[in-house]
Structure 1
Amino acid sequence: MYFKKITLLFLLIFASAGYAQTLSLKEAIKIGLENYGSIRAKNNYTNASKETLKQSRRDYLPNLNLSAQQDYGTVNGQNGPLYGFGGLGVASSGLPLPEQNWNSAFGALYLVNMNWDFFTFGKTQEKINLSKIDVQAKEKDLEQEKFQQEIKISAAYLNLLASQRLLISQQKNLDRAEIFKKTAVARVKNGLLAGVDSTLATAEVSKAKMALNLAKNFVKEQNNKLVDLMGVAPQDFVADTLFVTQIPKELVTKETATDSLHPLLQFYKTKIDYSNQQVKLYKRFYYPTMSAFGVLQTRASGFDSSYATNQNAFTRNYWDGVNPDRTNYLVGVGITWNLTTPFRSSKQVSAQKFVSQALQEEYNQADRELKSQLAFAEDKIKITLENYAEAPIQVDAAQRAYIQKSTLYKNGLTDLTDLTQTIYTLNRAEIDRDIVNNNVWQSYLLKVAATGNFDLFINEF
């Protein structure tokens, strides 16, 4: 029977080890940054903006069009006005004849067309600058998203560790309650105590078991939150107990200053820069565009040059109709300036200036909130450090009181109520110790979140 119990114990140990994986904070952050959906999405947005920047630079290249067409049809001409509305007309050319005829032949047109906006008074360059700032904005957005994710994962990790430490404390509390129950039952059987003591002891064990189950459920909740933030499949993790044995070194050395701008503020700043750059671009639309153009065109026709006087001077031979025999070229420089554009663009400029002002107000608000959070974190750190110093004293006193009352109870020198109170006090002290230690790290993490330098936190490990 004893051998079976030992075997079962080993099976339980190995089973729990198989389902729980020890996870360091650095590993959790690394996995989370690689897998979390919003980070991967913003990484793609950043890559897309880089490609857009390349496209903006290539917009400066001239347009070069090649065209070729071969047709078959008639060439009846007619005097009269016509507007090619919507491009739905036929461009057949020929002198007007006294009457309609259905003589038809092949014809062809081949051309090379080039046009180049070689001087745009800065419009092209401002578009490129806008794309550059857009890349910076996307990169800063990605950086602040990573920073926020690092903070969230760290907080979830600390919560998981706290829940697991609470689970240990509740297990200790259950062990004490069961020992107390065994003692009470034995003394009741021997007639040394009233039967109500064993009944109350049983109630205390049940209460401790329920508290343990609540702690297990809390561990599961915190584990699931960490799993979600890491972007991995559901699994159980065991947090590193390094946090339990020490407090942040930076709190001892008092060296937490940082000169770098908070990632969130950097992101807001690039949004302001982007809006200001849009203002510059819109102003460039006030000015004209200078273009160079050139056309090389060659044509072929199955109709002879004497067709106007001799309607039999044509051929339906395909090659004769598509073989080019007339060529023209044209080169030139032009300027285009829509004089009403400045009136329209001026309102775009003024509207975008208001957008810039709005973004600046958002920046100022975020800056104020971060400063307020930093001040709150400093105060919280002071309080948690004071509690951290008091927690061991509370636990030590509660342990000594429990040992004393337990000894007195075994010797019949105190009643059940006093012993139960010391058990509760010790359990509360152990829970407070676990929470206080974790709160020191949580407070420091809050300060790091306000300063914007996550290295201050992660370099502790």
Structure 2
Amino acid sequence: MYFKKITLLFFLIFASIGYTQTLSLKEAIKTGLENYGSIRAKNNYASASKETLKQSRRDYLPNLNLSAQQDYGTVNGQNGPLYGFGGLGVASSGLPLPEQNWNSAFGALYLVNMNWDFFTFGKTQEKINLSKIDVQAKENDLKQEKFQQEIRISAAYLNLLASQRLLISQQKNLSRAEVFKRTAAARVKNGLLAGVDSTLATAEVSKAKIALNLAKNFVKEQNNKLVDLMGVAPQDFVTDTLFVTQIPKELIKQNAATDSLHPLLQLYKTRIDYSNQQVKLYKRFYYPTMSAFGVLQTRASGFDNSYATDQNAFSRNYWDGVNPDRSNYLIGVGITWNLTTPFRSSKQISAQKFVSQALQEEYNQADRELKSQLTFAEDKIKFSLDNYAEAPIQVDAAKRAYLQKSTLYKNGLTDLTDLTQTIYTLNRAEIDRDIVNNNVWQSFLLKVAATGNFDLFINEF
């Protein structure tokens, strides 16, 4: 009979607050990783870095330019120096004539130009290596964000679970208060108790209702936090309560901590590697660049080769002006070396080395904090396990005291004040049990967050 009442009580609680969906922790994490905006953004950053790596590899390819132009104009030449400042000169070619004329015709230039930095003394390869490390950094940043999100969702899930179990305890507390309110009212009506007992019982019921409403509000707050982390539309969830009544199996095994590097430390390490790689790249700028080049050029003109002596030897016909009739080619190799680059790059290298040292200090600080967190988590696990062992004893003793006092009260052998105290003690014991059970898992999650191996936690489900 008692079991049936408890089952009915659970059903009424969840039906009354409108829960519509049961959610497992694995489902919550999967949904959160798929929908959370920060993770989706960093996934795109990682994809962008991979494309940048491909682009850096293609930078080694030679430049191959095709050019064609067709013009119409005059060809008056003049002796004298000229610098095409700002690219504003006109490249009209022709011998100087005694006087200006306005004879005009079509002309054309067709060009294929190739240049290739075929040996850069390692600059190209170091750029590729830098892009590779950038890919690792972006992937580790994504991995770290996913790990943090898994921890955040797990913590929010445990908080929601704890709030829902506290809600059940407050509902049971209200049910006990209402039972004794009816008992007190009946005994007062029959003249067996003073009227103050009924008044005190009414006050206890109101107190229990207030506590229940606060518990409902707390459930709603924790539910909304989980909704935000999952990136889904507002809805109410029912958590899986099967696992919380037992302790994590990993705590029983007492396995050694994982040797894999924490995702946060992996991220800091790749940042250090990226900075060190930049130093290597800057040093390569000390050296020259060797290039190969080649040009194939074809020209056409409406002016005849005798135009210098006969100013009538030209044609305004379009095809005569753009049909190529003169070609040249040129191939060669060259070397470019800016001798002042080492003086400039030396300070850039020094600055980057300081950046590497700063990143190393951040790595060391994060490592110390994680080790401190791990020690704290181990201690917290020990305390929570001790409390886990004591909680059933407290609840059992409180239940016996409650039954004894309720029996005495029904027989008129004690007053409502003593009974109220036992009700409060039992309610407090049930709340402590719910909190203690949840704290074991919260402590274990804290350890997982410090070790960086989330599989230790999720494999429990």
* TM-score for the superposition, normalised by structure 2: 0.97
Query: What is the aligned partner in structure 1 of residue 194 from structure 2?
Result: 194
Deviates further, 242-251 or 261-270: 242-251
Give the Å deviation of 1:17: 9.1
For the 8 Å contact 1:256–1:456, the answer to whether it is kept is: no
Q: Distance in 2 between matches of 1:128 and 1:434?
A: 56
Give the Å deviation of 1:252: 1.1
For the 8 Å contact 1:250–1:256, the answer to whether it is kept is: no
Q: Distance in 2 between matches of 1:341 and 1:6?
A: 82
CA distance change for structure 1 residues 290 and 6 in 2, over 3 Å: closer, same or farther?
closer
Other structure's SS at 2:100 match: coil
Q: Distance in 2 between matches of 1:9 and 1:362?
A: 53
Deviations 1:367-390 (A, max 9, x none): 000000000000001100000000
For the 8 Å contact 1:291–1:334, the answer to whether it is kept is: yes
Q: Which 5+ residue runs of structure 2 have no aligned equivalent? A: none
Give the Å deviation of 1:253: 1.4
Give the Å deviation of 1:9: 12
Give the Å deviation of 1:81: 1.1
Give the Å deviation of 1:257: 1.8
CA distance change for structure 1 residues 424 and 14 in 2, over 3 Å: closer, same or farther?
closer
Give the Å deviation of 1:10: 13
For the 8 Å contact 1:21–1:238, the answer to whether it is kept is: yes
Deviations 1:192-233 (A, max 9, x none): 111111011001000000100000000000000011111111
Give the Å deviation of 1:243: 2.8
CA distance change for structure 1 residues 293 and 200 in 2, over 3 Å: closer, same or farther?
same
Give the Å deviation of 1:416: 1.1
Other structure's SS at 2:17 match: helix
Q: Which 5+ residue runs of structure 1 have no aligned equivalent? A: none
Give the Å deviation of 1:244: 2.5
CA distance change for structure 1 residues 201 and 441 in 2, over 3 Å: closer, same or farther?
same
CA distance change for structure 1 residues 256 and 31 in 2, over 3 Å: closer, same or farther?
farther
Q: How many residues align?
A: 461
Query: What is the aligned partner in structure 2 of residue 270 from structure 1?
Result: 270
Give the Å deviation of 1:309: 0.9
- CA-atom RMSD, angstroms? 2.9
Deviations 1:151-180 (A, max 9, x none): 010000000000000000000000000001
Deviations 1:386-441 (A, max 9, x none): 00000000000000000100010111100111001000000000000000000000
Q: Distance in 1 between matches of 2:245 and 2:382?
A: 19
For the 8 Å contact 1:113–1:295, the answer to whether it is kept is: yes
Give the Å deviation of 1:299: 0.1
CA distance change for structure 1 residues 318 and 226 in 2, over 3 Å: closer, same or farther?
same
Deviations 1:219-264 (A, max 9, x none): 0000000111111111111110023321101111111421101010
Query: What is the aligned partner in structure 2 of residue 95 from structure 1?
Result: 95
CA distance change for structure 1 residues 390 and 248 in 2, over 3 Å: closer, same or farther?
same
For the 8 Å contact 2:18–2:236, the answer to whether it is kept is: no
- Runs of 4+ more than 4 Å apart: 1-19
Q: Distance in 1 between matches of 2:404 and 2:203?
A: 22
For the 8 Å contact 2:147–2:454, the answer to whether it is kept is: yes
For the 8 Å contact 1:288–1:338, the answer to whether it is kept is: yes
For the 8 Å contact 1:109–1:299, the answer to whether it is kept is: yes
Deviations 1:77-131 (A, max 9, x none): 1111111011011100111111110000000000100000000000000000000
For the 8 Å contact 2:174–2:212, the answer to whether it is kept is: yes
Query: What is the aligned partner in structure 1 of residue 54 from structure 2?
Result: 54
Give the Å deviation of 1:4: 21
Q: Distance in 2 between matches of 1:190 and 1:347?
A: 97
Other structure's SS at 2:358 match: helix
Query: What is the aligned partner in structure 2 of residue 35 from structure 1?
Result: 35
For the 8 Å contact 1:299–1:327, the answer to whether it is kept is: yes
For the 8 Å contact 1:285–1:342, the answer to whether it is kept is: yes
For the 8 Å contact 2:244–2:441, the answer to whether it is kept is: no
Q: Distance in 1 between matches of 2:379 and 2:3?
A: 56
Does residue 182 (structure 1) correspond to residue 182 (structure 2)? The answer is yes
For the 8 Å contact 1:248–1:460, the answer to whether it is kept is: yes
For the 8 Å contact 2:161–2:240, the answer to whether it is kept is: yes
CA distance change for structure 1 residues 233 and 267 in 2, over 3 Å: closer, same or farther?
same
Q: Distance in 2 between matches of 1:205 and 1:141?
A: 53
Query: What is the aligned partner in structure 1 of residue 122 from structure 2?
Result: 122
Q: Distance in 1 between matches of 2:180 and 2:128?
A: 78
Identity %: 92
Other structure's SS at 2:296 match: strand
Q: Distance in 2 between matches of 1:6 and 1:350?
A: 72
Query: What is the aligned partner in structure 2 of residue 313 from structure 1?
Result: 313
Deviations 1:336-380 (A, max 9, x none): 011111111111111000000000000000000000000000000
CA distance change for structure 1 residues 437 and 234 in 2, over 3 Å: closer, same or farther?
same
CA distance change for structure 1 residues 40 and 97 in 2, over 3 Å: closer, same or farther?
same
Q: Distance in 2 between matches of 1:442 and 1:244?
A: 10
For the 8 Å contact 2:19–2:238, the answer to whether it is kept is: no
Q: Distance in 2 between matches of 1:384 and 1:4?
A: 32
CA distance change for structure 1 residues 2 and 215 in 2, over 3 Å: closer, same or farther?
closer
Q: Distance in 1 between matches of 2:30 and 2:3?
A: 44
Q: Distance in 1 between matches of 2:448 and 2:64?
A: 56
For the 8 Å contact 1:243–1:438, the answer to whether it is kept is: no
CA distance change for structure 1 residues 340 and 5 in 2, over 3 Å: closer, same or farther?
closer
Deviates further, 162-171 or 228-237: 228-237
For the 8 Å contact 1:292–1:333, the answer to whether it is kept is: yes
Other structure's SS at 1:173 match: helix
